[in-house]
Chain A
Amino acid sequence: MQQQFPNRPFRTHGGAPVPHHKNTWSEPSAVMPPPERVVIPMQQHIGAPCKPVVKKGDHVYVGQVIGDNDAFVCAPIHASVSGTVSAVTKVLLTGGQTTEAIVIDSDGQMEHDPSIAPPPPVTNKKELAETARKSGLVGLGGAGFPAHVKLNVPEGKSIDTLIINVAECEPYVTSDHREALENGRNVLEGIYKVKEILDVHRVLIAVEDNKPDVIAKLTEIADDPQKDPKDEVRVLTLKSRYPQGAEKVLVQACTGRKVAPGQLPADVGCLVMNIASVSFLASYMRTGMPLTLKRVTIDGSAVKSPKNVIVPIGTPIKDVVAFCGGYKAEPRKILMGGPMMGIAITSDELPILKQNNAILAFDEAEARQYATTDCIRCGRCVAACPMELMPTKLEKAVEKKDVDALLSLDIMTCMECGCCAFSCPAGRRLVQAIRLGKSYVRKAGKK
């Protein structure tokens, strides 16, 4: 079946003109030497936490499975350094949940697990999902949704479009940008594989137009008459407007289709994969080395020399910052992720997780809280909401704890992208209020 390729992106609603601050895109990623110790939490994905399969005193190799769970929505966790398990403790993660964590003292050797070998060639969907699970891959764009769940498209749903997410719309973050420049061929290899197995004939590599070098590079590689004789893999240039990279918005921009509340992109025939995920899948199929390293953007006004760093998963943030020259000013706010959706963390002892794409440390001036004044009903939040909600009305319903009103305003459709709060001239904490409202709705058990 011949499919149409859009020449320009479809219209999306709202969004916000966030500043880009892409300071680190031009510098090659640095590879971090093995840290002294890593702390690997057993929950680095959406779904059931893993159970440790090693105990204190065990020797582990890089790539060895150290945590797993039989649950479907779960991805195994591997050791990222070789060394000795010094403790199995509990850590408090950013979501407020406590989870088990394995502490490994590195022996500095980075010895690979001798049993690591390239996986058998993948020939069908089932094997693809199985391979993805074994690799420990989760959505590397930030959500951390186990990749095999996504790739395991249920019967009855057919995927006609594969979207590769290189929008990277969050300010500061450039890890996907570097991935595209440094591993372009790998990315395409992964795309061809997924495309072949899932029998998809339309692949859109979606890049925001603030990354012309990525567009040029990927267009050049994607234009490969040998591997892609029918030209089914193309680059689509998106407008740089946050949040183009949010899954639902991206599907809309690429295909014009809208994913209904409670549905997945698969329901409208789309599969969205982050560029780093596809690239990793390709290298896993070649080498069999599971997900133990992650490229992370280290930036922010408190960091001395911002750059992208390839880090063993579980490395404490302060070690990574020290590798980037340490702090040049006292950090007052540290974010895991970008400034629009990232989480402010309480301590720089926390480890880098699989789905982290950035660590931002801000000094006093940038961390300062902005003032909140009364809502003037300007309607900017309504115009900015990509999900076409009315944030100010939601906020008022939250103040009244009116669950019925919250539901009639479709609070659960909110994806917390932050466009409303960014646009608000009164500096109202709209996203915070909506999060609270969601908890009221959950508590009321209505959804």
Chain B
Amino acid sequence: MEKFIVSSSPHFNGKKTTQNIMLDVIIGLTPAMVASVVIFGIRAAVVILTCIAACVASEYICRRVMKRPQTVGDLSCVVTGILLALNLPVTINPLMAVFGSVAAIVVIKQMFGGIGQNFVNPALTARIILMNSFPAPMTHWTDAFDYGAGADAVTTATPLSGMMYVNSPNSAPDYMQLLWGTHGGCLGETCALAIILGGVYLIIRKVISPVIPVTYLATVAVFSAVLGRDPLFDLLAGGLMLGAFFMATDYTTSPLYWKARIVFAVGCGVLTVLIREFGSLPEGVSYSIVLMNIVTPLIERYVRPRAFGKPKEKKGRGAA
């Protein structure tokens, strides 16, 4: 008889794996992808598929070159691809999308050690890189249902940039339009409803905890009201929904402990509104999340759970 397997307890493992978590995220992103294809036409699908293919290929090649175990199977690169695509305008040159994907996977993710090691969100940082490399194509918006608009067509405003530059008090924002996403913008920042749907799915599947999205959105609403802006408009416009449900909740770059997550999400919310109100950019979701990603280790250092039954540490001098 063969020898028995001897291993450390526990001898059971739960059903969740990295792969099926990522699959759930992909399912959660599906409504947003479908909405983007409906709103912007088949070219949206092309952008999404380009990003996914480029991300998967970069991850595969990177792991091969680095002689590391292959991690394409965990699907996290597919998620990065989708998220990046949802952050691009539909008229983007596919080569730029490929450039962004390579930057996300190779520079931001794999060079720092692969999944779980990157200190900023790959898709968001890639978007920032693209924004700074190609400012014009990255802010070239077409109207909803204007399937044929080319890169040379007249650009329309997104609701946020419209508010910033036009700033007409007469044009009250159309909330239903924002909710359904029938306006200009990135693929994934238009239809708030589809993103909320996907976010709720992730919460029900316990892939994400509601702490970050709820705190983030609440902070934006409150802070926006404090500054005399329109809170409902701020919630529904721009990339906030996508950021709150899918980007800020990124495991690797957000804190582990729920109280630290609250600090993180409040920071994201405050920065988002500050950039929208005072910044030279119409939109601040990506910068605020990336900035908070960077301070995550610092938050974790100061906000951490107190071990069961451990007495509160006395502050100040003379503490034992």
Which of A's residues lie within 8 Å of B, judged by CB? 13, 16-19, 171, 248, 258-261, 263, 330-335, 339-348, 362, 367, 369-370, 373-380, 382-383, 386-390, 392-393, 410, 413, 416, 418, 421-427, 429, 431-432, 435
Contact A377 B257 (CB under 8 A): no
Contact A392 B9 (CB under 8 A): no
Known contacts A18-B12, A331-B4, A383-B209; 19 further A-B pairs (Cβ under 8 A): A248-B308, A258-B308, A332-B2, A339-B11, A340-B9, A344-B4, A346-B3, A369-B5, A369-B7, A374-B114, A374-B115, A374-B117, A376-B21, A382-B305, A389-B308, A413-B308, A425-B18, A426-B116, A427-B17
Nearest Cβ on chain A to B304's Cβ, whole angstroms: 7
B311 contacts partner chain A, Cβ-Cβ < 8 Å: yes
Check A344/B114 contact, CB under 8 A, given A377-B251, A382-B305.
no
In chain B, residues 2-59, which have Cβ atoms closer than 8 Å to a Cβ of chain A? 2-14, 16-18, 20-21
B277 contacts partner chain A, Cβ-Cβ < 8 Å: no
Inside 8 A of A348's CB, which chain B residues have their CB?
A: 4
Inside 8 A of A369's CB, which chain B residues have their CB?
A: 5, 7
- Nearest opposing residue in chain B for A373, CB measure: B18
Contact A383 B258 (CB under 8 A): yes
Contact A332 B5 (CB under 8 A): yes
B252 contacts partner chain A, Cβ-Cβ < 8 Å: yes
Which of B1, B5, B209 counts the most A-chain CB atoms under 10 A from its CB?
B5
14 pairs of residues in contact across A and B, judged by CB atoms under 8 Å: A19-B12, A333-B4, A333-B5, A339-B12, A340-B11, A370-B13, A376-B116, A379-B255, A386-B308, A388-B308, A390-B257, A390-B304, A422-B13, A424-B14
Inside 8 A of B304's CB, which chain A residues have their CB?
A: 390
Give the docked Cα–Cα distance between A98 and B119 (Å): 48
Inside 8 A of B14's CB, which chain A residues have their CB?
A: 16-17, 422-425
From the candidates B4, B21, B252, name the one contacting A377 in the complex (CB within 8 A).
B252
- Nearest opposing residue in chain B for A172, CB measure: B12
- Nearest opposing residue in chain B for A368, CB measure: B5
Contact A379 B12 (CB under 8 A): no
Which of B's residues lie within 8 Å of A, judged by CB? 1-14, 16-18, 20-21, 71, 74, 76, 114-117, 209, 251-252, 255-258, 304-311
Inside 8 A of B74's CB, which chain A residues have their CB?
A: 373
Inside 8 A of A418's CB, which chain B residues have their CB?
A: 9-10, 12
Give the docked Cα–Cα distance between A380 and B256 (Å): 8
Inside 8 A of A386's CB, which chain B residues have their CB?
A: 308
Give the docked Cα–Cα distance between A123 and B17 (Å): 57
Contact A375 B8 (CB under 8 A): no
- How many inter-chain contacts with C-beta < 8 Å in the A-B complex? 153
Check A376/B309 contact, CB under 8 A, given A340-B12, A346-B3.
no
Nearest Cβ on chain B to A256's Cβ, whole angstroms: 12
Inside 8 A of B6's CB, which chain A residues have their CB?
A: 333, 344-346
Give the docked Cα–Cα distance between A2 and B11 (Å): 44
Q: Which 5 A-B residue pairs are closest in the complex by CB-CB distance? A: A418-B10, A410-B307, A432-B8, A258-B309, A379-B256
Contact B17 A344 (CB under 8 A): no
Give the docked Cα–Cα distance between A386 and B116 (Å): 24
Inside 8 A of B5's CB, which chain A residues have their CB?
A: 332-333, 344, 367, 369
Give the docked Cα–Cα distance between A387 and B52 (Å): 41
Inside 8 A of A380's CB, which chain B residues have their CB?
A: 16
Give the docked Cα–Cα distance between A416 and B8 (Å): 10
Inside 8 A of B16's CB, which chain A residues have their CB?
A: 380, 423, 425
- Nearest opposing residue in chain B for A418, CB measure: B10
Contact B10 A388 (CB under 8 A): no
Check A375/B12 contact, CB under 8 A, given A333-B4, A346-B6.
no
Inside 8 A of A375's CB, which chain B residues have their CB?
A: 116
Contact B8 A332 (CB under 8 A): no
Give the docked Cα–Cα distance between A93 and B74 (Å): 40
Nearest Cβ on chain B to A242's Cβ, whole angstroms: 10
Nearest Cβ on chain B to A301's Cβ, whole angstroms: 12
Check A425/B17 contact, CB under 8 A, given A332-B5, A344-B4, A390-B304.
yes
Contact A410 B12 (CB under 8 A): no
From the candidates B10, B13, B17, B114, name the one contacting A341 in the complex (CB within 8 A).
B10
- Nearest opposing residue in chain A for B117, CB measure: A374
Nearest Cβ on chain B to A419's Cβ, whole angstroms: 8
Contact A342 B9 (CB under 8 A): yes
Contact B9 A416 (CB under 8 A): yes
